[in-house]
Structure formats: C-alpha cells, structure tokens
Chain A
C-alpha cells in the first residue's frame, strides 16, 4: 500500500510526536473547561452537556476524517489497530470508571489536566489512580481468567452490522447531532427548574 499513514517512526520520533499530541489533547481539554470537576460532573446531573458535546463531537470528527482519508488513500484502513473486545470485563470496568468519575469528579485525562493547573483535588485524584493501579496489580492474579478470557477478537461496528464504514460514520454523526439537540433541551429545562427553585 502506498498510504502515508500509519507512520512507521523511529522510537525517538515516536516519543516526540506522542508528547506533542498529548500536549494538544491536554491544551484543548483545559480550554474546553474540563479542568473543573463541577463542569465534568454537571454531565452526570444533566445540567451541563459539554462533556457529551466535546467527546462525541471529537469522535464524529475523527470518524468522518478517517473515512475520508482512507478513501483518499492517505490512511491505510486495514492497518489501523483494533483492540480485542471483551464484553463483560469491559462492561464492569466501564461501570467502575463511571463510578470513580462521579465520586472523584474527574476521569483520568481530565484529572491530569486539573493536576497540571495546580488543583489539589486533581493531584489527589491522580494519587488515587496510582493507588488503584497498584491494588489492581496485586489482586489481578485472582481474577486473571475473567480478565483475559472470552476475547471476541478485534470486532468493528462495520463487522457486526455489515454496513460500510462511511454509512456508519454518517449514522454516528446523525446520532451525535440528535444527542446534542436533546442535551440542549434538557439543559434548558434543568436551568428553568433551578430558576423556579431559587
């Protein structure tokens, strides 16, 4: 294939590129206001839908962009890494992440953003992450089989539905716009409810 991407880089160049991309990621998260636990948990309480808009918006942009670049031959779609799907472990892990998000007020990426802007709760959250990783490492042998068993292999939506990736990208975009519109309606009704209570 003569596609430009994925790139094959030397380790040094890879590290430099990773740092640059990470910097941009953190920069835009902070600019979106995601260094604030109040803004982040507002999504859970349904009165601030920024998290959905930013994250889902990024997903849709990336999805449409990948489909376009793959059709133009710039990205070799067949070499994009697809991780293996483990349905039940991922479901349980996701629930735990969600729980941690609400209790702590951050998710791992935004926790780093908060810590880097000097917020103490962000730093404590990061300490919690490190402790959690340690606990996981120590207890993992006891649930190793559950953790690594039952892989469904690298599954894509295109594989499950039989639809071409462009069609799925369009459906995703439509779903996102629907969700944004719904979110704004809910935001307005929550604000109205709050105004009545005050």
Chain B
C-alpha cells in the first residue's frame, strides 16, 4: 500500500483555514437569512400577529432613522401625490399595486427588514403578509403614517394624555430632528412663518390635494 504523505506548506495551510472559515461563514449567513423574519406557516404567523411581532412602532422607526441604520427598507404604499405631500424620511415610494411587479420586487432586499406603511393599517398589513409569504422579512408600521404623525410629529401640547417626563425629552428630540428646526419659541427667528397660499387666489396655481393629517389647524 502506498504511503500518502501530505505535507501542507504554511501558506497552503493558511489558505485552507481561511477558505474553510469563509465557507462556514457563508453557510451560516445563508441559514440566518432564510430564518430571519416571521415564519410563513399560518399557525406560527397567526401567533406572531397576535403578539404584534409583525409591527414596528413609530418611535422605534424614528430611532432607526436617527441612528442612520442601513438594515431596513421603508416602503410607502400610498399614491404618488400622497408621497409627494409628506412621507416619512428615508421612505421609498412603491405603490401597493406595483410592489409585486418586477420593478417593485427589484428594489426589495432579502437581507434587510422591509417596513411597509400606508395611511392606516389595512393595506400595509396585507402587503406585509404577502411579503412574508414570499420569504421577505416584512413588517408594517403600526397604524401607518397616521400613527407616525400622532406619535412622533405631534407636539406634547396638542396631545390628549399627560406628559410623561422620561418620554418627553425623547419626544422633543425626535420632533426637533424630524421637523427640521428648533421647537421652542425662544429659538425661532421672531419672523412670522409665511401663510400658505389659498387655493384659487389670484396668481396661485391649481390647488394641491393636501393630506388631512394630525389635529389642530392644517
């Protein structure tokens, strides 16, 4: 019987170790990606929905945006005019009827959390369910952009509930970042903000459809 003597030089051994380690990493990350997100069998998915694991809270999303996270994709399912009027920062516009067309699917990444939102809860919930069944890590913003507006953008003074001291500072910081300016009267320039032009006024253009969001005068 021949004696097979295999002598690995230092370099070959190092290369083999690195490739072996890389192969293990590759397999592990493929497994992690296929296990990420919600289960797609009805019973487990129903349990996840009851536990609200298919939702992302508006404050949580606000935190992700502030941290400039790159592991999520925010999809706005509404119509184009609604998106142009106001959309959550970092959102990408894909209307629901194009979400599963080639153009829509191409924009989705399997490795990221896909967070869909609409005006309310209905369409996003259906969209996130369809995406989960297709193997994406899909979540919906709890109660849509309405909840975002109420929970993140509305100042404390207009809310019904009593201010919670711990949450108040966080709220103020979020408002400041997303409204793009200081929120205290003392910090403003003292010049009254320009009034929006009335539709139909002379020289005004065709009235833009406006969203009815939030409370108070808008």
Contact = CB atoms under 8 A, between A and B. Distances in A.
Q: Interface of chain A, helix or strand or loop or mixed?
A: helix
B110 A162 contact: yes
A162 B109 contact: yes
Contacts of B21: 64, 173
B134 to A, nearest CB: 14
A21 interface: no
A78 B22 contact: no
Given A60-B18, A158-B111, A174-B22, A167 B70 contact: no
B68 A164 contact: no
Contact of A166 (B15, B29, B69, B72): B29
Interface in B64-110: 64, 67-72, 109-110
Contacts of B26: 164, 166-167, 169-171
A177 B28 contact: no
A164 B25 CA distance: 10
B29 A167 contact: yes
Interface residues of B, number: 24
Contacts of B72: 78
Contacts of A81: 68
Given A164-B33, A166-B30, A78 B19 contact: no
Contacts of B30: 164, 166-167
Contact of B25 (A68, A79, A159): A68
B111 A173 contact: no
Interface of A: 60, 64, 67-68, 71, 77-82, 154, 156, 158-159, 162, 164-167, 169-174, 177, 180
